Structure 1
């Protein structure tokens, strides 16, 4: 199931994450591994998450490598290191939808992108030699797999920031 897309304004959000490059084929394994590593890092510092863990797509080339961060929102950022870094999701206007079922991610992302195109929305995105880069495009994992083991019931939010309006 995929919900109707919506537009909303969001405040900036601090987070900690691990950045890496991976292929689509390795993505699920990488997400699970890095999410656990970031949670363990926060736990050692007694820092509570301030929201759902997420996958941030920095640069996407579906045929080659994805440049991603696996992160967790936090209210305050402890001192980071070379492996776990601090970042900020920018404030702005975002389009989002929620989908159910772990295997529906590509379909849900396509649905949001198609909806945005039909609405005439301009994404905070640009082309690079490595692929399409995004200012803020993420998938927030709303379901805790420790509480709900059935992947068919997992809910994930797809979120993409819109480009800032150009002054006239």
Structure 2
């Protein structure tokens, strides 16, 4: 598996940010319905795939946002916040299969980075842009073994 380098524009989104361990991941997944419910109530259409944005991982605790890209920026509230995916170059790799195996794709990106010397945009353990976008709709592709998930890491300038 070899990643591609893509230049991406800034992308507005709304999300809910939380911290959780892998054992608590069901609580993170439960935020999907809350974010989609929020945009549905406001008659806002998604402009891309649901994503997780990882900010940091410390002591097995993940600081993560569950988000949905939008065509234009909107105001958030006390629960759902407005943000944006930063513009820049991203190393992108497609994960095929169950999300429980996505660490294989993370490892492939790390190995590629080590082999090529292309560094990711991380400062003091905080990622400027680390995204996991779920390209498959479970209503259309019910078997997680057949899902496609894009993993994109912002490359250091």
Smaller-chain TM-score bracket: over 0.9
Asked if 1:74 is matched to 2:70, the reply is: yes
Partner of 1:50: 47
How many Å separate the matches in 2 of 1:160 and 1:133?
A: 12
Shift of 1:84: 0.2
Give the total of aligned pairs.
Answer: 156
Query: CA RMSD, aligned part only?
Result: 1.2
Shift of 1:32: 2.5
Residue 19 of structure 1: SS of its match in structure 2?
Answer: strand
User: What's the TM-score once normalised by structure 2's chain length?
Assistant: 0.94
Partner of 1:113: 110
Partner of 1:156: 149
Q: Which runs of 5+ in 2 are unaligned?
A: none
Partner of 2:132: 139
Residue 138 of structure 2: SS of its match in structure 1?
Answer: coil
Structure 1 stretches (4+) deviating beyond 2 angstroms? none
Shift of 1:4: 2.6
Shift of 1:30: 3.0
How many Å separate the matches in 2 of 1:53 and 1:30?
A: 16
How many Å separate the matches in 2 of 1:42 and 1:162?
A: 30
